[in-house]
Amino acid sequence: MRFDRRGFVGTLVGIGAAFALSTPTLAQTAGKDYTPISPVQATENPAKVEVLEFFSYGCPHCAELHPVLSPWVAKQAPDVVVKKVPITFGRAAWANIAKLYYTLEITGDLARLDGAVFQAIHAQRVNLFEERAIMQWVAQNGVDQKKFAETFNSFGVNSKVRRGDQMAQAYKIQGVPALAIDGKYLVGGQNFDEMLGNADKLIGKARGEKSGKK
């Protein structure tokens, strides 16, 4: 279940531990456990298995996934690279929080404040969809406000936001959170356990394809 352009389309249940790295690669069903991405998308490093998380800080289900996904990411093997892609679905408010993500990444504050942004929006009800509120919040959380403000509206950050939306279109992302594996597979699942379990299996599948094993 994902948060999409039209709002909620159900309820994610069963937030639980992700499958361990040792989970075997089992047969999966296209259309149920995953959707093939067509055309296949190029990844940054062909030597690595690339996992993309399409998300938004404004998405309540992304907020629920975040504390589950973080330990799952930490368990991945060195040949797996996980990247987050904030997308906007054309919403100005979501564009601001996508810019917030990239600006924190550039200023070096992302690792410290990534989870805090979700908490601020969804638990504390802080309005981080407006630029002024964002500036106040980052200052309160120890970010260099001058550096942040200069970066927030920079060409580089705006380009990253546009690129994220272009990627979402290329990957045919209809809702978030969404996981894509190696430019080939969009992960399915009825809950977080299933999603991450399927992601583990698809990582194994992509790894095998790179080594010539199907």
The domain ranges of the chain are 49-181
Burial degree of 76 (CB within 10 A; 0-12, 13-18, 19+): middle
pLDDT of residue 3: 60
Q: How far is CA 185 from CA 52, 173, 200, in A?
A: 10, 12, 12
Q: Which helix (H) or strand (E) holds 166?
A: helix 155-170
pLDDT of residue 164: 98
What are 36's strand-pairing partners? 185
pLDDT cut 90: percent of the chain above it: 82
What is the 3 state secondary structure string of 37-50?
Answer: CCCCCCCCCCCCEE
- What's the CA angle centered on 186, arms 202 and 17, to 5 degrees? 60
Average pLDDT of the segment spanning 77-92: 96
* Residue 20: band (very low, low, confident or very high) from pLDDT cuts 50, 70, 90: very low
The CATH number, out of the four listed (3.40.50.300, 3.90.1150.10, 3.40.190.10, 3.40.30.10), of the domain defined by the range 49-181? 3.40.30.10
Place of tokens 């389309």: 9
117-154 residue pLDDT tens: 999 999 999 999 999 999 999 999 999 999 999 999 99
DSSP letter for 190, please. Answer: S
Average pLDDT of the segment spanning 183-189: 96
Average pLDDT of the segment spanning 31-43: 92
